[in-house]
Every structure is written in structure tokens, then in C-alpha cells.
Amino acid sequence: MIDHFLLGGDLDVRRLGYGTAQLTGPGYWGPRGPAADAVAVLRRAVERGVTLIDTADNYGPAVAEELVAEALHPYPADVVIATKGGVVRTSSSAWHVDGRPSTLRAMCEASLRRLRVDRIDLYQLHRLDPEVTLADQLGALAELRAEGKIRHVGLDTITAEDLTRALELDIVPIASVQNRYNLQDRSSDALLKLCERHGIAFLPWFPLGNGTLTEDPVCAAVARAHDATPGQIALAWLLHHSPVLCPTPGTGTLAHLEENLDAGAVRLSAEEMARLSSQG
């Protein structure tokens, strides 16, 4: 198993990263708790060797990006910050997709200010806007990239057909996709295979099935042989399953962070992988 991935062909990241959604409250709205606790988790993640930090402008909204900057700025040279734009939040349950070029530009520039950077390493379109052409949405990101405000572009919650179309349009290189994917939900298998063919990073969200895999009986059985937890086995399965999968599990506690990151040391046998994969 290879522990690193070359994101966009030039950014070397540890495949097991950290996601910031759990630093915010229910519905990704407001802060989860004291800022000092979030700062401690972020700093510990980097101390443990995490180099890929995944966040979004609408986590909070704005809260998660501000916490990332408070904890890590000035950023270590090897740390890659990924954020997302294209969704407007008006409450804990309201998500409004907005892919208009003017909106994407304003969101990107706001993220630059909050993160305290001149260029965002990976800027991901959080959702495709069905009311705006894909060419216009990609074109807006291509302009921001040409201006030096974005280094690499990614797409979130798409289909294999969406990625194929984006690649055929060839408006801007696609460095990553981010879809729901885990041991129990492999509905994006076709997208994963397409990413493998093109060397595109796949950042699976809900890598632990929103917590369900921490209680999975098959994961639990394999975990006993490794003196591990079921959640660690679920993360290890992702790392073994495909070399382009770069899970960024999130948590708001130091203890859970340590547990998640220890999954990177678990080495699963071919028999264990087959046993785990058979339940999908």
C-alpha cells in the first residue's frame, strides 16, 4: 500500500488526511465548541503527519476556514489546504447551490481572506449548479486559476458522466473529486475507476459511513486480529482498496483523531480485503 498521492501531479500528500466538518455544530452550523479545542485538534493532526486538510466555506459557514487559519497559519510548507465553494447556507438545514461565475469568484476570494493565503491549493466546486452550464462553472474556476488564486480544481458530488464531460470540455484540469464512498456504499465505483484511469484523487466523504462502520460486525471481526477498532479497519480498507482514495475523516476530539490516524499503520491481507469487500 502506498501512503502518498501526487495531487494534481505536483502536490505530494499523505493519503490519510483530516476533514474539518466536525469542527462545526449540528448541520455544519456554527462552532462545535470552544475554538481552542478545534485548534488543538488541527495542530495535532499536522503533528501526526497529516498534510491534506479538507474544509469548505459553508462549514459554519466560514467557521471551519477561520479555525484552520487560526490553528495552522503560517502553514507548513508540506501542508495542502483544500476548500470548497458553490453552496450558500442560510440555516442549519438550508443548502442553496449557486454556481454562477460571479458567485464562485466572490466565494473563492472570501476563502482566500479567511484562510490568509494568496492561492488555494485545491478549490473544489461543492455542487454542480443545474441552472448554470458546466462550461461556465468550470470557466470561472479556470479564470481564478489563471489569475493565480487557485492551484488545482476539484469537483464534489458528481457522477462518472459528469467527470467525463468535464474532461472532454478540457476547460481546466480536474485534480480531484469528492463523493460519498465507503465500505458499505460503493455507488460511485464507476467514478472511482475513471479517477484511477486519469490519476485523479478521490476524496471519499463519510468514509466511516457517518459512524455506522464503527459498529460493523465484519470490521469488528477483522479488527480483533489487528488489535484495532472497526473504524480503523474501515479506513484501512479504503487505503488498500484504491491508490487514488484519499480519505479525510473528521472529528472534533483528540482521542478520535489519534484513533483515525492510527488506521494508516494497519496492513490488511488479501484474504481480509476479500472478506471485507464481499459485504458491499
Residues belonging to the active site: 59
Cα–Cα distance measured from residue 123 to residue 175, given in angstroms and rounded to the nearest whole number: 10
> Taking a C-beta distance cutoff of 8 angstroms, is the pair 188, 209 a contact?
no
Q: Locate all alpha helices (DSSP H) within 189-243, ordered by sequence.
A: 189-198, 217-226, 230-241
Instruction: Report the C-alpha dihedral over residues 193, 173, 55, 94, rounded to 10 degrees.
Output: -90
Chain centroid, CA 120 distance in Å:
14
How many contiguous H segments (helices) and E segments (strands) does the chain have? 10, 11
Q: Mutual orientation of helices 63-72 and 35-47 as an angle, nearest 10°?
A: 60
Residues near 60 by beta carbon (within 8 Å), at least 6 away in sequence = 24, 28, 29, 30, 31, 66
Query: Which of 258, 268, 191, 266 is CA-nearest to residue 44?
Result: 258
Cα–Cα distance measured from residue 175 to residue 179, given in angstroms and rounded to the nearest whole number: 14
